């Protein structure tokens, strides 16, 4: 297979061929992102220190919140021992921080997946899978809503047609069909 070059490119940082590219789906838009950009764009979904993806949004008193973004970290993962529930997440602290290398062959040192990078990749994959599940659920919901809408629309159209017939009768015939009159008795 020869995938198109654009298929391999990260939609956010435009790295032409990141080592791993994942698809996230949000509001019916598919985006292919490198692991680093995916994690940076979904900061509220995982702890940036231990790289655990939150199964459910953690209760506010169980996490510290980044002063600059929506990132949250477990209380015991955050190095600040203060109890004010604030910290600065790694990417906000250092603009050059990356959860996962954009390229594995820059200097050779990135070619080994250490535990931290492996965890980052797993977190990125989990978030991508969750986004696909959300999208599927959303599509299902939309399909149900659409079928309800179309049922509604059909009924409204039928009503409108009947009303139009009525108006036409009144306007042209002036004699109202007695059978019809009975039906629309006031
Ligand atoms: Zn990227
Ligand atoms: Zn943590
Ligand atoms: Zn932050």
Q: What is the pLDDT of residue 167?
A: 83
Instruction: Give the Å distances, CA to CA, from 112 to 18, 35, 100, 116, 122.
Output: 15, 16, 12, 11, 15
> What are the counts of helices (DSSP H) followed by strands (DSSP E) for the chain?
5, 5
Can you point out the beta strands (E) in 14-123? 21-26, 29-34, 63-66, 72-74, 86-87
Which ligand is located closest to the Cα atom of residue 74? 2
Tens-digit pLDDT profile for residues 21-76? 999 998 888 999 999 999 999 999 999 999 999 988 888 888 999 999 999 999 88
Strand 21-26 to 29-34 pairing = antiparallel
Q: Does residue 89 carry a pLDDT above 90?
A: yes
Which ligand is located closest to the Cα atom of residue 48? 2
* Average pLDDT estimate for 89-94: 94
Residue 123, both tokens:
């977190």
Which ligand is located closest to the Cα atom of residue 18? 1
Q: Does residue 19 carry a pLDDT above 60?
A: yes
How many angstroms is it from 169 CA to the middle of ligand 3?
A: 68
Q: Is 94 exposed, middle or buried (0-12, 13-18, 19+ CB in 10 A)?
A: exposed
How many angstroms is it from 51 CA to the middle of ligand 2?
A: 6
How many angstroms is it from 114 CA to the middle of ligand 1?
A: 20
How many angstroms is it from 77 CA to the middle of ligand 2?
A: 5
pLDDT band at 3 (very low <50, low <70, confident <90, very high): very low
* Average pLDDT estimate for 99-104: 86
Q: 77 phi and psi, to 5 degrees?
A: -90, -30
Percent of the chain with pLDDT over 70: 81
Which ligand is located closest to the Cα atom of residue 47? 2
Tens-digit pLDDT profile for residues 107-163? 555 556 788 899 999 999 999 999 999 888 988 898 888 888 888 888 888 898 898
Nearest to 129 by CA among 16, 38, 37, 1: 38
Which ligand is located closest to the Cα atom of residue 65? 3
Q: Does residue 178 carry a pLDDT above 70?
A: no
Q: What is the pLDDT of residue 2?
A: 47
Q: Domain map of the chain by residue range?
A: 5-139
Ion ligand 2 residues within 5 Å by Cβ:
47, 49-50, 74, 77
Contact 113, 121 (CB under 8 A): yes
Which ligand is located closest to the Cα atom of residue 92? 3
Higher pLDDT, 98 or 4: 98
């Amino acid at each position: 297979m020869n995938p198109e070059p654009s298929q391999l490119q990260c939609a956010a940082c435009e790295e032409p061929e990141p080592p791993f590219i994942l698809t996230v789906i949000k509001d019916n838009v598919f985006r292919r992102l490198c692991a680093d950009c995916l994690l940076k764009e979904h900061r509220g979904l995982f702890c940036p220190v231990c790289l655990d993806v939150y199964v459910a949004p953690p209760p506010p008193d169980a996490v510290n919140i980044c002063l600059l973004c929506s990132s949250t970290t477990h209380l015991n993962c955050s190095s600040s021992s203060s109890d004010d529930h604030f910290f600065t997440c790694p990417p906000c602290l250092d603009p050059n921080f990356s959860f996962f290398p954009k390229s594995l062959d820059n200097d050779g040192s990135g070619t080994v997946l250490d535990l931290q990078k492996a965890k980052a990749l797993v977190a990125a994959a989990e978030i991508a899978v969750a986004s696909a599940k959300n999208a599927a659920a959303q599509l299902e919901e939309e399909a149900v809503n659409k079928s309800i809408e179309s049922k509604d629309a059909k009924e409204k159209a039928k009503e409108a047609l009947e009303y139009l017939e009525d108006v036409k009768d009144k306007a042209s015939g002036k004699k109202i069909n007695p059978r019809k009159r009975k039906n629309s008795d006031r």
